[in-house]
Amino acid sequence: MKKRRFVWKAVDEKGIIQRGCWDGDEIPEIQARLRKEGYFPVGVRSTRNWQSVFVPTRKKIQWSHFARRLATLLEAGIPMLQALEMMTFHETKLTFEQEQWKSVKEQIEEGRDLSEALTLLNPCPNSFVLSMVKAGEYTGTLAKVLKEVADELDQEHVYQKKLKAALAYPLLLFLAVIVVLYVLSVWVLPMYEKLFISMGAELPFLTRVIFAGGRKIPFFLWGTFGLVTGGLLVMKHTNSDRWKMRLDHLLGWIPLLGKVYRFRDLVQFSQILGRLIDAGIPLLEALRLTAGALHSREMLELTSQLVFEVRQGKHMAPSLRASRIFPREGAEMISVAEESGQLDRMLHYVTQMFRRELEDQLNRLTRMLEPALILALAGLIGLVASGVMLPIFDLSSHLE
């Protein structure tokens, strides 16, 4: 029997994200091999074929919904297996998510822990969810931890929606600029150009530039659209674990948008690390697990440096102060927390501070982008109108 190829993502002992492709029969085999070689598996999936590029089959699971329902049932004193049974037994036709819960129940019946059963799902939850569930199992507070996981995932979803809402109107204005350019270059400008040529009018320099640019704009727009779309499809389906990181890195170079993405990464880092430490996971292990849930290249490098410092028995504050992406105020707060031994509590306040900064950056981005795009659209229409009207004024003066 021919072995399948699996793409894996794992965290090594230094907290660095490692990726690779291995051949095997099943996902548990790859996960066991990773653990044997000293890695913490973050994600394992079978490689895509060319058909899946055009017909994606991977579905998303609402982990927050699962965690909250299971936490409620466990808090009510219902045993794990019975709780999972209650989540699926009343349905005649199971949805994709319910089939996954049923699979988890079957794995637990075979003697596996909940955290181990979740790793066998495809897609499986991220390293934050898995590590929190494992910590809840070790400390006997699984219901409490599951509720915290649900709160964290819901909060992350809310801020993702806020980010999308903040960028929706500027994106709509940008698309309006593109549509206006295309309409002008395909229908309006050629009509006036033919009219002026038939009348033998001498075109001013600005008008000639506008007409020449209008002839090239459709090819430029379609070429750019094809290159961007093709590049994103290739990045997503050839290496789906890295394409979002590369896209975020590119967006991070945009002046206003870059700050939004930076503070989003800071919120994610401090919040996940604080949750893991509060759940009873040691700092070194919590940093490694936090690295598995991050996407920004800069934050991954910083987390790897923190893992190296903590392994040597040093504090995190000096590395955070030296970092160009971590705010100095947050580094000083963490320094005080390391001295007082209340790092998890201080990380909660640091997260709140970063979240306020994120909201300020989102509001500032919206306030500055909207008028800028409106002015660009008005200026573009005014420039084209002036270029078209100049020959008309010239013809009217000759007629007089």
Q: Model confidence over 125-146: pLDDT tens digits?
A: 877 788 788 878 877 888 888 8
Is 62 part of any domain?
no
Over the stretch 260-298, which tens digit does the pLDDT of each residue have?
878 888 988 898 888 888 878 889 888 887 877 777 778
The model's confidence at residue 235, banded by pLDDT at 50, 70 and 90, is low
Is 67 part of any domain?
no
Q: Write down which residue in 140, 170, 186 finishes a domain.
A: 140
Total domains in the chain come to 3
The model's confidence at residue 332, banded by pLDDT at 50, 70 and 90, is very high
Is 55 part of any domain?
no
Task: Locate 92 and state its tokens.
Answer: 């005649």
pLDDT of residue 316: 94
The rounded radius of gyration (Å) of the Cα atoms in the chain is: 28
Percent over 70 (pLDDT), the chain: 84
Is 59 part of any domain?
no
Over the stretch 1-55, which tens digit does the pLDDT of each residue have?
456 777 777 777 766 777 778 877 777 777 778 878 878 776 676 665 434 333 3
- Runs of H (alpha helix) within 184-295: 189-199, 205-238, 243-251, 255-278, 283-293
What average pLDDT score do residues 249-268 get?
Answer: 74
Note whether 267 and 354 are same-domain residues: yes
Give helix 243-251 / helix 255-278 axis angle, nearest 10°.
130
Note whether 315 and 378 are same-domain residues: yes
Distances (CA, A) of 141 to 132, 188, 277: 10, 68, 14
Is 30 part of any domain?
yes
What are the phi and psi torsion angles at 6 (to 5°)? -120, 140
Amino acid sitting at position 352: Q
Note whether 354 and 392 are same-domain residues: yes
Is 61 part of any domain?
no
Is 57 part of any domain?
no
pLDDT of residue 33: 82
pLDDT of residue 240: 52
Higher-pLDDT residue of 317 and 115 is 317
**Mean pLDDT highest for which of 102-111, 156-165, 228-237?**
102-111
What is residue 61's DSSP assignment?
A: -
Note whether 191 and 321 are same-domain residues: yes
Note whether 220 and 160 are same-domain residues: yes
- Per the DSSP assignment, residues forming a β-bridge with 20 are 8
pLDDT of residue 36: 80
Residue 42 near residue 10 (C-beta atoms within 8 A): yes
Counting beta carbons within 10 angstroms of the beta carbon of residue 45, is it exposed (0 to 12), middle (13 to 18) or buried (19 or more)?
A: middle
Note whether 136 and 153 are same-domain residues: no
Please give the Cα distance from 41 to 198 (Å, whole number).
Answer: 71
Note whether 249 and 372 are same-domain residues: yes
Note whether 230 and 245 are same-domain residues: yes
pLDDT of residue 30: 79
Is 53 part of any domain?
no
Task: Locate 33 and state its tokens.
Answer: 């091999």
Note whether 268 and 376 are same-domain residues: yes
Note whether 163 and 297 are same-domain residues: yes
pLDDT of residue 398: 55
The model's confidence at residue 153, banded by pLDDT at 50, 70 and 90, is confident
Q: Which domain holds residue 275?
A: 141-400
Higher-pLDDT residue of 343 and 99 is 343
Note whether 115 and 43 are same-domain residues: no
List, in order, residues 6 or more apart from 193 with CB less than 8 Å away. 211, 214
Q: Write down which residue in 86, 109, 140 finishes a domain.
A: 140
Q: Write down which residue in 98, 121, 140 finishes a domain.
A: 140
Higher-pLDDT residue of 67 and 1 is 67
Note whether 316 and 371 are same-domain residues: yes
